[in-house]
């Protein structure tokens, strides 16, 4: 029973980490597009804020995975 829960936890982390990394890649492309156009308006600032939130989410998930590995859950 515990193995199933651990596996489900790992799959959940992997799912959200994959989603956030793809989001980060797309946000980098959008920032490069707006910066290349020289348009430093609202949408570039909004994308930069979303990118910050995405990076913080990736950091939170990776730190949670590292904590679980150290404690021996995974």
Question: How far apart are the C-alpha atoms of 35 and 16, rounded to whole Å?
Answer: 28
pLDDT surpasses 50 at 28: yes
- Domain range summary for the chain, segments of one domain joined by +: 2-71
pLDDT surpasses 80 at 8: no
What is residue 1's predicted lDDT score, i.e. its pLDDT? 42
- pLDDT one-digit tens code per residue, 30-67: 999 988 988 888 988 899 999 999 999 999 999 988 88
Whole-structure pTM value: 0.78
Question: How far apart are the C-alpha atoms of 26 and 32, rounded to whole Å?
Answer: 10
What is residue 53's predicted lDDT score, i.e. its pLDDT? 97
């Amino acid at each position: 029973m515990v193995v199933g829960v651990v596996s489900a936890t790992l799959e959940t982390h992997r799912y959200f980490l994959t989603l956030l990394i793809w989001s980060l890649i797309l946000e980098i492309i959008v920032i490069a597009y707006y910066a290349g156009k020289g348009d430093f308006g609202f949408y570039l600032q909004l994308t930069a804020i979303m990118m910050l939130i995405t990076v913080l989410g990736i950091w939170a998930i990776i730190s949670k995975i590292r904590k679980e590995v150290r404690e021996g859950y995974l």
